[in-house]
Amino acid sequence: MKIVHTHGRKSLPLLPDGEWVKAEPSQGVSNCAACRLAGGRSVQMGDTQNPDAVVLVFPAREWGAFLGLTA
């Protein structure tokens, strides 16, 4: 799992599909989640410590609503 850090941004940087992103403050912490764009229609969330574990999939619209509530 290749991780790209957000460097303090509250939104995902524009990345090609498939590149995982996790928040910069989670550096050095062992229980982190990362997310990535999947086909422009959904966002996948996975565990950085268990990259082969279950990946949650959210429609892009629902992910955007979630980010709007947490900003």
Task: Tell me if residue 20 falls in helix, strand or coil.
Answer: strand
Percent of the chain whose pLDDT exceeds 70: 61
Beta strands in 1-71 (DSSP E): 3-5, 20-22, 33-38, 42-47, 56-59
Contact between residue 23 and residue 4 where contact means Cβ atoms under 8 Å apart? no
**Where does the pLDDT of residue 8 fall: very low under 50, low under 70, confident under 90, or very high at 90 and above?**
low
Question: Rg of the chain over CA atoms, in angstroms?
Answer: 12
pTM over 0.85: no
pLDDT at position 17, please?
60
pLDDT at 15 over 80: no
